[in-house]
Structure 1
Amino acid sequence: MTVLGTVTTAIAGMVFGLSVAAPPGPMNAVIAEESVARGWTAGFRAGLGAMTADACFFVLALVGAVAVVERVPAVRGVAFAVGGLLMLYFAVGAARDATATHEAPAESRGFRKAFVLAITNPFQIAFWLTVGVGLLEPGRIDVLGPLPVGELSGLLVVRTGSPLLLVGFFAGILLWVVGFPATLVAAERRASGVGPAVAYASAVVLAGFGVVFLGEALTMLGSLR
């Protein structure tokens, strides 16, 4: 691999990791709630919890264990049910944090909370069943190949299955885990109303995903009869 190819693969992994970590969802809702209620350290720990779950899925994908969820519909249904119930439970906690943001903060359990949510999140499992497997399999993506200018073909090549791609991927997630809580804490310091608003929004996001997950679980388990 050329020096340019090495740099391209590492940067591509980092950008992809950021793009996976940044969209709104239950994990970012937990990180946001912990950040505004208990500070940057708590938000960072929550992010590490979600990232640790990704690392576990990465190892399971390597050995093929994650595929069991895809092959056994009952396991998928139970995973959705457990994930949905946990999200509803943590949504209640987020709503309580919204009213207690300016009181003495309780001990942070963000790492455990985010890890449990992430490890039972069927969407995260599905990611490692599909896109994650693609990251692990050796291959070659010509970034500029589809362009009509032929001489650019082969200039920027990303190597899937490369350790550099995977290191970049987790580095991108870590960058988000560091920056997102810092941004929220800075916003909370500038405007005191930001904290409760973020905590309430986190509760709504978690509750919404919880209801969706429970609906999916009922559909899946009901089809097994």
Structure 2
Amino acid sequence: MFDVVVSALAGVALGLSLAAPPGPMNAIIAEESVLRGWGSGFRAGLGAMSADACFFVLALLGVVTVVRDVPVVQRALFGFGGLLMLYFAYGTATDANEAFGGDAGNGADDSTASGEGIETATDGPPEGEDSKGFRKAFVLALTNPYQILWWLTAGVGLLDPGTFALDWLGGLTVSTGSPVIVVGFFAGIALWISGFPAALVTVGRRVDAFAPVVAYLSAVVLALAGLSFLSKATGFLA
């Protein structure tokens, strides 16, 4: 029984190792959360999680290894992924400017006179507003070489049937390739994509300057990731 629990927790840890590190996926989740609320951030996370479900199936079929074995596929993914990230970075910056920058140049007089400027600048679009976060995260995750490389490394350990002992836990064993660890893996991702947006929304409600900073920072992260990917694509070509 304890071995089953340990295997499930190992799966959760693997899921968090993929979902939690800073990067373009979390930039989109952060943007959606601070601009449109928890629901939009969670849906963006579901987009990335759906891509992982696709990679899971492709890894089972052995298709993901094509990225490792065929350099031209790597070049195409880095190039297309980089362009997509730059496009989404522009959209993120535009959305953030519309939500938080409209009153930036009006000064205190306009906001005081109307009584609406400060509220509009800090609140952003209302919860539930139509969002493309799911599609953005899904498409970007499918073209994210680093996400695919994760499936070629840690993902292999997740899927490969076997066991390994945790001597420091009294010899308890983790069963890889089992349904328990796979369920734990996706539970770890679900934990992150629900908790991360909730934390951002909670802090954003208490600190007025937090949401604009996160929104613009998300655009910067996407832009830097896009430039990095394009640089790697041209490096492959060279």
Q: TM-score, normalised by structure 2?
A: 0.86
d(CA) in 1 for partners of 2:153, 2:16 = 18
Distance 1:159 1:39 in 2: 38
Alignment-derived partner of residue 30 in structure 2: 32
- Which residue of the partner structure matches residue 126 of structure 1? 149
SS in 2 for 1:140: strand
Q: Does 2:207 match 1:184?
A: no
2:229 to 213, 216, 219: 213
How much is the aligned-residue C-alpha RMSD, in angstroms? 1.3
Aligned position for 2:220: 204
- Contact 2:35/2:125 (<8 A) preserved: no
**Letter of the structure 2 residue corresponding to residue 182 of structure 1:** A
Q: Which among 74, 80, 88 is matched to residue 76 of structure 1?
A: 74
Distance 1:19 1:127 in 2: 9
Query: 1:16 Cα shift?
Result: 2.1
Could you list the per-position Cα deviations for residues 141-179 of structure 1 after superposition, in whole angstroms to 9, with x for gaps in the alignment? 2122xx5xxxx652x211111110010011000000000
1:199 and 1:176 mapped to 2: Cα distance?
Answer: 19
Amino acid at match of 1:162: S
The letter for the 2-side match of 1:79 is L
SS at match of 1:181: helix
**What is the CA–CA distance in structure 2 between the aligned matches of 1:183 and 1:159, rounded to whole Å?**
33
2: CA distance between counterparts of 1:221 and 1:53? 27
Unaligned 5+ residue runs, structure 2?
100-120
Q: Does the 8 A contact of 1:98 with 1:195 survive in 2?
A: no
C-alpha distance after superposition, 1:62-92 (max 9, x if no partner): 0001111111101110100000000011111
The 5 Å alignment of 1:1-150 reads: 3-101=1-99, 102=121, 103-104=124-125, 107-144=130-167, 147=168
Structure 2 residue identity aligned to 1:113: K
Which 4+ stretches in 1 moved above 3 angstroms? Answer: 102-106
Amino acid at match of 2:212: P
TM-score (ref. length: structure 1): 0.91
Secondary structure of 1:42's aligned partner: helix
Read off the aligned partner of 1:173 and give its amino acid letter: I
Residues of 2 paired with 1:195 and 1:98: CA distance?
A: 9
Match for residue 186 of structure 2?
170
Distance in 1 between residues matched to 2:98 and 2:209, nearest whole Å: 12
Identity of aligned pairs, percent? 62
- In structure 1, runs of 5+ residues without a counterpart are none
Whole-Å Cα distance in 1 between the matches of residues 194 and 14 of structure 2?
A: 16
SS at match of 2:59: helix
CA contact (8 A) 2:44 2:136 kept: yes
Q: Taking structure 1 as reference, are residues 114 and 153 closer, same or farther at Cα in structure 2, changes over 3 Å only?
A: same
- Verify the 8 A CA contact 1:61 1:128 in the aligned structure 2: yes
